[in-house]
Amino acid sequence: MGAVSFLLRMKPVFKEKVWGGNALEKEFGYPIPSENTGECWGISGHENGESIIEEGPYAGKTLRALWEEKPGLFGGGSGEFPLLVKFIDAAQDLSVQVHPDDDYARKKEGYAYGKTECWYIVSARPEAELVLGHHARSREELTRMAQSGRWDELFRRVPVKKGDFIYVPSGTVHAIGAGIVLLEVQQSSDITYRFYDYDRPDSDGSLRELHIEDSIACSMVPHEDRTPDKREWAEEDAKVEELIDSEFFSIRNITLDGKTVLRKRAPYQLITVLRGEGTAHNEKETHTFRQGDHFVVTEGTSPLHLEGNMQYIVAEPGEKA
C-alpha cells in the first residue's frame, strides 16, 4: 500500500455503557474492551473520544489536531470538526432522551453544536423497536404526562428492521431499543438530556441522573416525523440510495458489486464500510477496504476508483456543518 496522503484511515474509540453488549465484535470483529461495549466512535474530532489516524504521513495524529493544523485538507474548515460517526450496540434499551438544537446548546451549555443525528439500522432482532417522538399535543400536556409518569402513554414506539433509515433532528424524543445495532451520523456534540431511564441503576447501583426540565424545554411539540423519502440511482456497478440531504449532513448508502468512482459533493467525505471488502485507488495510491473500516477522504483527492463487493455509507457535511 502506498503512502496515505489524502485517504485517512481512522482507529476506532470504544465506549462501555450499562446497556452495551458484544455485537460490535460479532458484527465487525472489533477488539472491544468488554461485554458491555455500547459504542464505537469511528470518525470523531470530539474531545470525549478523538479518532487517531492509523497510517501514512499523519499516523498517530488525532483527527481533531489535523483539522486544526491543516484546514486546507478539509476545504478550510474552522471551529470544531462538525460530524461524528459511530456504531451503537443496544443490548438493552437506551434511556429515552432528547438533544438540544444549536441555539439552546450555545446558550445553556456553552457548546458550539446541538445534536441532530440519523440512524441506519445494521441489524435488528425480530420485534425490535425505537422510541421516536411522543403523543403530547402541547408542551403543557407533555409536562403533565411526564410529571405524572405516564410514560407508556406518552412515548411513540415504532418497529424497525435491518436497512431502515431514521432522521432524528434536535428536539426529537427518542430511544434505541434492545437488540438493535446501528450506524449513527450526528453533529459533533455529546449533549444528552435524559428524559426517562426505566428506574435503572448504573454500574455503581445508583439511578442515573434525569434532565426532565431541559428535556421538556428542548422537545419538538407536537412531534413531526421528518425522515424523507430516499432517492435511488445507479453509478456504474453501484446502487446509490440518498438517504438524506440536510443542512447538517448528507448521507448516501452505496452497494457496490464491481467498479465505480467515488463522487464528491463536499470538500471532504466520511466513509464507513458496513459489509464486504474492496479497494480504492487513484494514480498515487491504493487502499483496501473491509467491513468496519472508517475513512476520511480529504480535499484535493483526485478521483478514487472503487472496486469490490461491499456496502458503505458516505457522509458529507451540510451547509450548517
Mean pLDDT by 10 residues, the chain (321 residues): 67 96 98 98 97 94 96 89 98 98 95 96 98 98 97 98 98 99 97 94 85 97 96 98 98 99 94 98 90 94 92 96 83
CA distance 244 to 253: 10
Is 99 annotated in a binding site? The answer is yes
- pLDDT per position as a tens digit, 150-193: 999 999 999 999 999 999 999 999 999 999 999 999 999 999 99
Please tell me the predicted confidence (pLDDT) of residue 77: 77
46 annotated as belonging to a binding site for a ligand: no
| Predicted local confidence at residue 285, as pLDDT | 85
Is 194 assigned a catalytic role?
A: yes
8 A C-beta contact, residue 39 and residue 15: yes
**What ranges in the chain are assigned the alpha helix state H?**
23-28, 63-69, 102-104, 139-147, 151-154, 212-218
- Report the C-alpha gap between 302 and 299 in whole angstroms: 9
CA distance 189 to 166: 18
135 is in an annotated binding site: no
Q: Which domains, from first to last, does the chain contain?
A: 7-218 (2.60.120.10), 231-317 (2.60.120.10)
41: left (phi over 0), alpha (psi -120 to 50) or beta: beta
**pLDDT at residue 1, rounded to an integer:** 37
Tell me which amino acid residue 133 is.
Answer: G
Query: Residue 93 contacts by C-beta under 8 Å, 6 or more apart in sequence?
Result: 19, 175, 176, 177, 178, 198
Which residue among 194, 231, 263, 290 is the active-site one?
A: 194
pTM for this prediction = 0.95
Rounded Cα gap, residues 81 and 175, in angstroms: 25
- pLDDT, residue 5, reads 56
pLDDT (0 to 100) of residue 301: 80
What's residue 204's pLDDT?
Answer: 82
Sign for the pseudo-dihedral over CA of 264, 270, 275, 281:
positive
Residue 25 grid coordinates: 465484535
**pLDDT reported for residue 283:** 85
Listed in sequence order, the residues at least 6 apart from 263 whose beta carbon sits closer than 8 Å to its beta carbon are: 235
